[in-house]
Amino acid sequence: MKTAVIKTGGKQYLVQEKDKLKVEKLSVDEGKKTTFKEVLLTATSKTAKIGTPLVKGATVEAKVLKHGRHQKITGVKMKAKKRSRKLFGHKQHYTEVEVIKIKTR
């Protein structure tokens, strides 16, 4: 089975074909395909190619399944001895993709 490490949204993901994963929001419509060109490593059961920093000619094709938002993260900013508190919340956007094909040269 082919394996690759891709870089998107400032993060790195270890993926295999037919994997589903949530990445930072992409500006691609649902149901369309996208290509990740920043491939850092590709591997099969017999060979492995490590990029310096990218593997030349390697791409990962994926299909966008849906866009959404993660659960709310809440936090508190507090100043000691000042009676000052601030509550905040944040919901991060994501795009769920399914890896279709890992292409190597």
Task: For residue range 70-97, list pLDDT tens digits in order.
Answer: 999 999 999 999 999 999 999 999 999 9
Structure token digits, residue 23: 């990445």
Closest CA to 62 of 2, 13, 17: 17
Closest CA to 20 of 98, 102, 87, 75: 98
Give pLDDT, residue 1.
86
Number of domains present in the structure of the chain = 1
Give pLDDT, residue 72.
98
Structure token digits, residue 78: 């507090």
Mean pLDDT for the chain? Answer: 96
Local structure of 69: helix, strand or coil: strand
Report how far residue 86's alpha carbon sits from residue 99's, in angstroms, rounded to the nearest whole number. Answer: 41
Report how far residue 82's alpha carbon sits from residue 58's, in angstroms, rounded to the nearest whole number. Answer: 56
Residue 105 above 90 pLDDT?
no
Tens of pLDDT along 33-70? 999 999 999 999 999 999 999 999 999 999 999 999 99
Residue 30 above 90 pLDDT?
yes
Tens of pLDDT along 5-15? 999 999 999 99
Residue 70 DSSP one-character state: P
Residue ranges making up the domain that contains 92: 3-103
Beta strands in the chain (DSSP E): 3-8, 11-16, 20-24, 33-36, 39-43, 48-50, 59-69, 73-79, 84-90, 93-103
